[in-house]
């Protein structure tokens, strides 16, 4: 049963969103440094997208995480959990102080998302390539139940090497799943090298168009472009939308930007101090 009176949609202005994105990046490097392990590069590249979703676009209610009519966000690139945890904490799903427990035994904030542990998490992650399939299933269920929620799935570019992504892409358009938006965090670097050297994706937008998706291409760090694309995606009917968001791995921290070493390496104490100064 719908609960219209519980609907919450946070709505910051663009300058406030940009400030929040920097704030979330500070959380990311701090929690990963405290844990001594984690994935800063892909968390930082996705920070602006996550901010636009949680503080402007998504209909959600931190006081009622299981509200049936909430929009769903699926973090398919589950190793970027720190940026999602930072957003959830700032929204009020759990105390901000809990961010310092990242990856600790007994913590609700594990290295990959776990929907059974963390309030606000929609999918347990680990193996890459599965989030789009999960998102399609949730979107189809919403259509069958005549709900008006929208499903957003964030994928990594390296993750798009997975065959399951493309099987899901075919399925979504075959079934006209238009309450679904996929977002590609196209930062051009994966675990151990550049995407173009490991398994090139280009021409990526042409591939999605060939699979009959509605395709938008943006600068994934331009808040106005992100917001406009998210609105267009939600309004578009008849087929699912994919947003190819060009981003920078490690965005916001000079020595992490475009640096494959920081795909999955925690900053040292000195690097953390430098990072926090750069993000002021």
For 66-76, the pLDDT digits (tens) are 999 999 999 99
For residue 208, count CB atoms less than 10 angstroms from its CB and return exposed for 0-12, middle for 13-18, buried for 19 or more.
Answer: buried
pLDDT at 8: 59
**Cβ distance 153 to 74 under 8 Å?**
yes
Domains and CATH numbers, the chain: 14-278 (3.40.50.970)
Please give the pLDDT value at position 9. 64
Return the percentage of the chain with pLDDT > 70, whole number.
Answer: 97
- 197-256 pLDDT tens trace: 999 999 999 999 999 999 999 999 999 999 999 999 999 999 999 999 999 999 999 999
Give the model's pLDDT for residue 10. Answer: 76
What is the value of pTM for the model shown?
A: 0.95
Q: Is the pLDDT of residue 65 over 60?
A: yes
Strand segments (E) across the chain = 72-75, 151-156, 180-186, 189-190, 193-194, 214-219, 241-246
Instruction: Provide long-range contacts, Cβ within 8 A and 24+ apart, for 138-142.
Output: 138/72, 138/74, 139/177, 139/179, 139/180, 139/240, 140/175, 140/177, 142/179
Instruction: Assign 3-state DSSP to the chain and report helix, strand, coil percentages, each to 5.
Output: 45, 10, 40
């Amino acid at each position: 049963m719908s609960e219209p009176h519980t609907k919450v949609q946070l709505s910051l202005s663009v300058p406030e969103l940009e400030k929040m994105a920097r704030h979330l990046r500070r959380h990311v490097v701090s929690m990963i440094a405290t844990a001594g392990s984690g994935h800063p590069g892909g968390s930082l590249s996705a920070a602006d997208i996550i901010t636009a979703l949680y503080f402007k676009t998504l209909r959600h209610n931190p006081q009622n995480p299981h509200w049936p009519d909430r929009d769903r966000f699926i973090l398919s690139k589950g190793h970027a959990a720190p940026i999602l945890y930072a957003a959830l904490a700032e929204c009020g799903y759990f105390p901000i102080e809990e961010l310092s427990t990242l990856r600790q035994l007994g913590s609700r904030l594990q290295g990959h998302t776990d929907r059974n542990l963390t309030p606000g998490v929609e999918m347990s992650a680990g193996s890459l390539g599965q989030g789009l399939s999960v998102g399609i299933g949730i979107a189809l269920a919403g259509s069958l139940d005549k709900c008006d929620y929208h499903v957003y799935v964030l994928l990594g570019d390296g993750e798009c090497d997975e065959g399951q992504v493309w099987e899901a892409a075919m399925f979504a358009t075959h079934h006209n799943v238009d309450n679904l938006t996929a977002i590609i965090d196209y930062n051009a670097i994966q675990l151990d090298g550049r995407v173009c050297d490991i398994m090139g994706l280009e021409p990526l937008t042409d591939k999605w168009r060939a699979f009959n998706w509605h395709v938008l291409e943006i600068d994934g760090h331009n808040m106005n472009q992100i917001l406009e694309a998210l609105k267009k995606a939600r309004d578009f009917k008849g087929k699912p939308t994919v947003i190819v968001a060009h981003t920078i791995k490690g965005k916001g921290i000079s020595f992490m930007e475009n640096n494959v070493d920081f795909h999955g390496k925690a900053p040292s104490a000195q690097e953390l101090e430098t990072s926090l100064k750069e993000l002021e």
